[in-house]
């Protein structure tokens, strides 16, 4: 493979403009029910077609660019709104637009009875636009624009049914937590401008590649940059300590959870890190930090998912946990594994969420799995889809989840040893356990409530995406099989040809790899079986001990945040407002009134009404003026 | 020894100041008016002296006009005082404080 | 006539001293007296003394006018009014705040005197020009009808207005009840 870059110009901005047009049109025109949705879906689908066309250019071209236009320039700070596509990002583009189209199609039917469909699809298209801007921008400022855009759309969509206070607050929580993370992105931007002189991604990579300049940097610059980006990723991709918004985000409609909180937005942190991988590859301490934070997140979220009763909450914690897996892969120095899991997770998590939506729809908006049961007969297609999803996420052999999770575990074993591997394996086992718990409680045994007895299957428009996603969840994994099985390593090829080479670790021999694979498979199968045994007859409430309490109450993290962080802020806010408003503003007003009044009162002392005293004062005034004039 | 000019000027100053004091402190309106006349006299004295110094007729002319105006003013003011006395029964200036406040 | 410059620059004559003394003396009486009639008569005395000072300066015209108009009409008018209204001597009731007011006005007047006295040195002493500066009434008349014509006429109008005002004031409240 030669190192000559073949950079080709491509009309990338069209991919972004199509969903943007959809957002605008849907925002302006309220059409008959379902037509807004179909419009949105069509535009998303055309973006998908365009993405395929760009993808096909790839083996010849190494990078596609669209120079765009200069947004602003102030001194040497330049923001060029240009777009570029590397191979791995073009695959991500396919996921964003492809899975996005399926979700749009599903949502058209899911939201067909809602009273604000136009607004919904406008927001949904706006989200896709922002995500595309984030993915395609060639400049970090453009990425940040998209970053903020997806944050805003996330807020709008989570709080879509804002008439209920709980939903609005969930939206706010998401946005504010994101904002705390965005501080990291800003810090990274500042570092880029101050030390690299540019914020364009390719510019930064060129700058870093020059050994002289890189050596001349103060030692902390790259570390701060990497940590700042990671902090931003923690906010967006829900790692400790900024994951708290994701479970609450389930207040939004299910297609939103599927698109934003499973497939696209939450992976943007990983995407940015992979794009900037050459910097991260050199920062071993930062990678260690990333690994342990990710591992803790994966375990913590998995523990929280064990006891949840809301079907969507189980999936939300599962997402947080799986994101932890992806970051763990990054922390182990394996961007390929991380990206591979991003893609497979997008497929099966979207599948799981959409199926959950179908179930909830069929259960007339009942979300508590303790009240479900026996839906296997009533909703066969949904049942099949959910089963495929669970199987994929648990990593049963030959599913996509199997390949991606295995790759991550292997890489972690290679770089972080037995301890890291063991803990991550534990998280994987817990994943399998709680997913199958939710499966059995939802679909097996008999109906435990009125809604469950009268559940109905969903429409074709919702089932078709489910089936397509099921296929993807089973097949995508075959694109990156372990070396010992053959030569299908597309993901490695894509990621590495985009400039992200894995950190050199010690490769394990084939025998070790077989053993690791075996252990993981047995572990997940065993956990699934254990879940079957425990929950096949329905919910088990006997063991609600202290550990259960901890898990069910999410380890009281939200409460801790509230009392240690939020309460002081609220107190400061109120006391400041009292201070400034009452004493400052009112005080100033009253003070100025008082000054006028007092001046008037002082002056009226001289108004005695006696002409003689007036004359006296006039003379006095004259003398004063005379004196001043003479003295001066 | 002082010159004549200085003496006359001093007299004028005294007249003016006593006139002012009379105006400021007397309780009866008529006497206050007398104070005004004193002040005018002081001014006239200065003017005449100035006429002598600068050797022209302007000093005298001004004096003439001042005197004229003083006469007219005194006449009218006293008429008004008469009417006031008839209406209020007193000319004590403390009672006329409607400008107060 | 050399007399003119001497009158200002030279030493004051005895006449001047006496006239000055009386002027100030009578002014003091006006200020101090509590009896309005005493004040009026003392005012007349001041006016006469001032006229004497004018004569001593050589300006006979103004002196004559002073005696005729000021002492002869205005002071008489004052005396007339005091007698007409039968103004009694003012008893000095000690009103609150009266004394500080006295002090204050005394201070202000004193300040004024101070300022004025400081300007005495600025008074020019006159020149060696011995040309006549003392004019006769005829010459003044000529001035009034030529150079100072406008002020002259304006003064006439002023007096006319004053007469009208006096008549209105005199008749004022009687107009409706009686015609006289």
Series of mean pLDDT values for 10-residue runs along chain A (632 residues): 60 84 85 84 89 82 78 80 86 91 91 86 92 90 92 92 90 91 92 83 80 77 91 90 89 89 86 89 88 92 88 92 93 90 92 91 82 82 90 88 89 86 91 91 81 78 87 84 76 78 74 84 88 79 75 82 85 88 86 91 85 92 92 78
- Most C CBs within 10 A among A606, A610, A616, hence the mutation to make, goes to A616
Vertex C86: Cα angle to C81 and C91 (nearest 5)? 115
pLDDT at C93: 66
Quick check: C108 and A626 CB within 8 A? no
Instruction: Check the CA dihedral A258-A297-A236-A493 and report its sign.
Output: negative
User: What is the share, in percent, of chain C residues with pLDDT greater than 90?
Assistant: 46
User: Chain B, 45-74: which have a CB under 8 Å from a chain C CB?
Assistant: 45, 48-49, 51-57, 60-61, 63-65, 67-74
Q: Does residue B36 have a pLDDT over 90?
A: yes
pLDDT at A543: 67
Quick check: C116 and B13 CB within 8 A? yes
Question: How many Å apart are CA A297 and CA A299, to the nearest integer?
Answer: 5
Burial of residue A251, with CB atoms counted within 10 A of its CB: 0-12 exposed, 13-18 middle, 19 or more buried: buried
Chains that touch B (3 or more CB pairs under 8 A): A, C
Tokens of B59: 């000093």
Quick check: C43 and B92 CB within 8 A? no
Instruction: Check the CA dihedral B1-B7-B10-B14 and report its sign.
Output: positive
Q: Taking CA atoms, what residue in A is nearest to B92?
A: A610
Omega prior to A57 cis, within 30 of 0: no
In terms of Cα–Cα distance, which of A284, A226, A81, A250 is closest to A171? A250
Question: How many Å apart are CA A483 and CA A506, to the nearest integer?
Answer: 15
Choose the closest CB to A623 out of C104, C105, C108: C108
Which residues of chain B lie closer than 8 angstroms to A613, CB-CB? 24
Which residues of chain C lie closer than 8 angstroms to B63, CB-CB? 62, 65
Helix ranges, C33-148 (H)? 36-57, 60-65, 75-85, 98-118, 137-146
Say which residue the tokens 């957002």 belong to: A23
Question: How many Å apart are CA A492 and CA A515, to the nearest integer?
Answer: 22
Tokens of C68: 């005729």
- Most B CBs within 10 A among A613, A615, A618, hence the mutation to make, goes to A615
Q: Is C101 on the interface with A (CB under 8 A)?
A: yes
Which residues of chain A lie closer than 8 angstroms to C101, CB-CB? 613
Quick check: B64 and C135 CB within 8 A? no
Which residues of chain A lie closer than 8 angstroms to B17, CB-CB? none
Helix axes A335-362, A400-443, angle to 10 degrees: 20
Question: How many Å apart are CA A372 and CA A388, to the nearest integer?
Answer: 19
How many whole angstroms from its chain centre is CA A265? Answer: 4
Cα-Cα end-to-end distance for chain C: 58
Question: How many Å apart are CA A185 and CA A175, to the nearest integer?
Answer: 15
Beta bridge partners of A378: none
Choose the closest CB to C108 out of A619, A626, A627: A619
Which residues of chain A lie closer than 8 angstroms to C104, CB-CB? 616
A197: left (phi over 0), alpha (psi -120 to 50) or beta: left
Question: How many Å apart are CA C165 and CA B63, to the nearest integer?
Answer: 24
In terms of Cα–Cα distance, which of A441, B64, A182, A64 is closest to C137? B64
Least reliable range by pLDDT among A134-138, A351-355, B36-40, C9-13: C9-13
Q: Are B92 and A605 in contact (CB under 8 A)?
A: no
Question: How many Å apart are CA A44 and CA A39, to the nearest integer?
Answer: 9
Which residues of chain B lie closer than 8 angstroms to A616, CB-CB? 24
Question: How many Å apart are CA A54 and CA A50, to the nearest integer?
Answer: 6
Helix ranges, A159-217 (H)? 165-191, 201-209, 211-216
Q: Are A346 and A469 in contact (CB under 8 A)?
A: no
DSSP 8-state class, residue C96: T
In terms of Cα–Cα distance, which of A483, A520, A501, A288 is closest to A394? A520
- Exposed e or buried b per residue across A139-172, where buried means at least 16 C-beta atoms within 10 angstroms of its C-beta: bbbbbbbbbbbbbebbbbbbbbbbeeeebbebbb
Question: How many Å apart are CA A504 and CA A524, to the nearest integer?
Answer: 29
Tokens of A155: 């807020």
Task: Give the model's confidence band at C130: pLDDT under 50 very low, under 70 low, under 90 confident, else very high.
Answer: very low
ipTM higher than threshold 0.85: yes
Query: Which DSSP helix (H) or strand (E) runs through A74?
Result: strand A63-74
Beta bridge partners of A65: A9, A84
Chains that touch C (3 or more CB pairs under 8 A): A, B
Beta bridge partners of A84: A65
Least reliable range by pLDDT among A81-90, B19-28, C87-96: C87-96
User: Chain B, 22-81: which have a CB under 8 Å from a chain A CB?
Assistant: 23-25, 32
User: Residue A284, Cβ neighbours under 10 Å: how many?
Assistant: 12
Query: Which residues are within 8 A (CB) of A181 and not within 5 positions of it... i.e. 6 or more apart?
Result: A231, A232, A233, A234, A235, A236, A242
Which residues of chain C lie closer than 8 angstroms to B75, CB-CB? 74, 77, 162, 166
């Amino acid at each position: 493979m030669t190192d000559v870059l073949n950079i080709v110009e491509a009309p990338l901005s069209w991919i972004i403009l199509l969903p943007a047009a959809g957002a605008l049109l849907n925002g302006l025109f309220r059409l008959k029910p379902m037509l807004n949705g179909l419009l949105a879906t069509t535009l998303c689908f055309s973006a998908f077609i365009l993405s395929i066309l760009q993808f096909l250019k790839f083996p010849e071209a190494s990078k596609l660019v669209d120079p765009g236009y200069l947004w602003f320039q102030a001194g040497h700070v330049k923001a060029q709104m240009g777009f570029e596509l590397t191979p791995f990002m073009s695959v991500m583009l396919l996921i964003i637009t492809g899975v996005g189209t399926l979700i749009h199609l599903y949502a058209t039917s899911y939201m067909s009875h809602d009273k604000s469909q136009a607004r919904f699809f406008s927001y949904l298209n706006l989200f896709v636009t922002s995500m595309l801007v984030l993915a395609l921008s060639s400049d970090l400022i453009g990425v940040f624009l998209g970053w903020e855009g997806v944050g805003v759309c996330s807020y709008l969509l989570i709080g879509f049914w804002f008439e209920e206070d709980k939903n609005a607050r969930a939206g706010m929580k998401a946005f504010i937590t994101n904002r705390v993370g965005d501080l990291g992105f800003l810090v990274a931007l500042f570092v880029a401008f101050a030390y690299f002189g540019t914020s364009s991604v390719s510019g930064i990579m060129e700058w870093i590649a020059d050994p002289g300049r890189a050596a001349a940097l103060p030692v902390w610059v790259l570390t701060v940059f990497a940590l700042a980006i990671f902090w931003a990723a923690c906010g967006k991709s829900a790692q400790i300590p900024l994951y708290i918004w994701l479970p609450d985000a389930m207040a939004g409609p299910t297609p939103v959870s599927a698109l934003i909180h499973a497939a696209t937005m939450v992976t943007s942190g990983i995407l940015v890190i992979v794009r900037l991988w050459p910097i991260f590859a050199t920062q071993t301490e930062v990678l260690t930090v990333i690994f342990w934070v990710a591992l803790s997140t994966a375990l913590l979220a998995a523990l929280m998912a064990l006891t949840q009763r809301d079907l969507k909450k189980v999936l939300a914690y599962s997402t947080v946990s799986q994101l932890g897996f992806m970051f763990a892969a990054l922390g182990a120095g394996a961007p390929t594994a991380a990206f591979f899991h991003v893609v497979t997770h997008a497929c099966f998590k979207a599948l799981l969420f959409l199926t959950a939506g179908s179930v909830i729809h069929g259960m007339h908006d009942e979300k508590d799995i303790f009240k479900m049961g026996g839906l296997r007969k009533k909703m066969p297609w949904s049942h099949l889809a959910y089963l495929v999803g669970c199987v994929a996420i648990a990593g049963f052999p030959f599913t996509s989840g199997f390949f991606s999770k295995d790759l991550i575990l292997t890489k972690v074993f290679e770089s972080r040893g037995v301890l890291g591997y063991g803990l991550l394996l534990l998280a994987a086992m817990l994943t399998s356990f709680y997913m199958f718990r939710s499966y059995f409680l939802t679909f097996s045994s008999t109906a435990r409530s009125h809604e469950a007895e009268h559940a109905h299957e969903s429409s074709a428009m919702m089932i078709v995406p489910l089936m397509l996603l099921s296929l993807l969840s089973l097949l995508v994994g075959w694109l990156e099989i372990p070396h010992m099985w053959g030569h299908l390593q597309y993901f490695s090829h894509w990621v590495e040809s985009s400039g992200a080479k894995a950190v050199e670790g010690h490769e394990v021999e084939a025998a070790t790899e077989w053993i690791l694979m075996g252990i993981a498979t047995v572990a997940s199968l065993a956990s699934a079986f254990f879940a079957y045994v425990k929950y096949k007859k329905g919910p088990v409430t006997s063991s609600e001990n202290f550990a259960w309490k901890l898990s069910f109450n999410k380890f009281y993290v939200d409460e801790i945040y509230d009392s240690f962080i939020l309460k002081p802020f609220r107190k400061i806010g109120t006391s400041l407002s009292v201070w400034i408003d009452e004493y400052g503003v009112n005080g100033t007003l009253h003070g100025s009134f008082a000054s006028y009044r007092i001046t008037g009162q002082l002056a009226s002392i001289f108004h005695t009404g006696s002409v003689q005293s007036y004359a006296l004062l006039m003379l006095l005034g004259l003398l004063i003026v005379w004196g001043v004039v003479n003295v001066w | 020894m002082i010159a004549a000019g200085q003496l006359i000027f001093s007299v004028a100053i005294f007249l003016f100041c006593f006139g002012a004091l009379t105006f400021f402190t007397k309780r009866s309106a008529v006497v206050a008016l007398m104070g005004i006349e004193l002040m005018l006299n002081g001014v006239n004295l200065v003017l005449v002296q100035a006429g002598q110094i600068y050797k022209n007729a302007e000093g005298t002319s001004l004096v003439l006009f001042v005197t004229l105006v003083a006469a007219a003013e005194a006449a009218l003011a006293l008429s008004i005082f008469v009417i006031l006395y008839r209406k209020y029964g007193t000319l004590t200036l403390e009672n006329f404080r409607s400008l107060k406040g | 006539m050399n007399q003119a410059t001497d009158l200002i620059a030279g030493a004051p004559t005895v006449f001047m001293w006496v006239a000055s003394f009386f002027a100030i003396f009578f002014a003091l009486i006006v200020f101090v007296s509590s009896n309005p009639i005493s004040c009026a008569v003392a005012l007349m005395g001041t006016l006469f003394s001032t006229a004497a000072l004018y004569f001593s300066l050589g300006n006979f015209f103004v002196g004559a006018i002073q005696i005729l108009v000021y002492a002869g009409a205005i002071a008489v008018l004052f005396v007339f009014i005091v007698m007409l209204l039968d103004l009694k001597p003012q008893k000095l009731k000690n009103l609150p705040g009266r004394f500080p007011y006295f002090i204050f006005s005394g201070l202000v007047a004193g300040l004024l005197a101070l300022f004025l006295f400081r300007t005495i040195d600025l008074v020019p002493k006159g020149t060696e020009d011995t040309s006549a500066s003392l004019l006769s009434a005829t010459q003044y008349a000529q001035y009034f009808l030529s150079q100072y014509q406008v002020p002259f006429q304006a003064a006439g109008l002023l007096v006319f207005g004053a007469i009208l005002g006096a008549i209105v004031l005199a008749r004022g409240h009687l107009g409706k009840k009686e015609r006289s």
